[in-house]
Amino acid sequence: MRLLESVAEHEHGAPAKQLARETGLALPTAYHLLRTLVHEGYLRRDKGLFFLGEAAERLSSSGAEQKRRSTVVEALAHWRDLIGVPVYYAQYRNGEIEVLCVSESPGNPAVEEWADFRETGHAHAIGQCLLAQLDDEARRDHLDRYPVQSITPYTVRDGHSLLRRLERTARMEPVTERQEYALGTVCAAIPITLGNAAATMAISLPAHQADRLQAATQQLQEEIGRLMGTLAISISI
At 61-120, the pLDDT tens digits run 555 555 556 678 889 999 999 999 999 999 999 999 999 999 999 999 999 999 999 999
> pLDDT: is 66 or 122 the higher one?
122
Residue 195 has pLDDT above 90, yes or no: no
- The whole-number pLDDT of residue 66 equals 53
- The whole-number pLDDT of residue 54 equals 85
CB environment 153-178: b (16+ within 10 A), e (fewer)? eebbeebeebbeebeebeeeebbbbb
Residue 230 has pLDDT above 70, yes or no: no
Q: What is the mean pLDDT of the chain?
A: 89
- The whole-number pLDDT of residue 61 equals 55
DSSP conformational letter for 187:
E
3-state helix, strand and coil shares in percent for the chain, rounded to the nearest 5: 50, 20, 30
Cβ 129 vs Cβ 190: under 8 Å: yes
- Residue % of the chain over a pLDDT of 70: 90
> pLDDT: is 70 or 48 the higher one?
48
> pLDDT: is 1 or 155 the higher one?
155
DSSP conformational letter for 83:
I
DSSP conformational letter for 195:
T
Residue 42 has pLDDT above 60, yes or no: yes
Q: How far is CA 183 from the centre of its chain?
A: 27
For 131-160, what is the mean pLDDT?
95
C-alpha to C-alpha distance for 157 and 93, rounded to whole angstroms: 26
CB atoms within 10 A of CB 95: 12
Q: 53: Cβ–Cβ under 8 A, 6 or more apart, which residues?
A: 37, 38, 41, 42, 43, 44
C-alpha to C-alpha distance for 2 and 110, rounded to whole angstroms: 44
- The whole-number pLDDT of residue 68 equals 57
Cβ 161 vs Cβ 154: under 8 Å: no
Confidence category of residue 128, pLDDT binned at 50, 70, 90: very high
- The whole-number pLDDT of residue 60 equals 61
Entry pTM: 0.70
CB environment 105-140: b (16+ within 10 A), e (fewer)? eeebebbeeeeebbbbbbbbbbbbbbbbbbeeeebe
C-alpha to C-alpha distance for 220 and 225, rounded to whole angstroms: 9
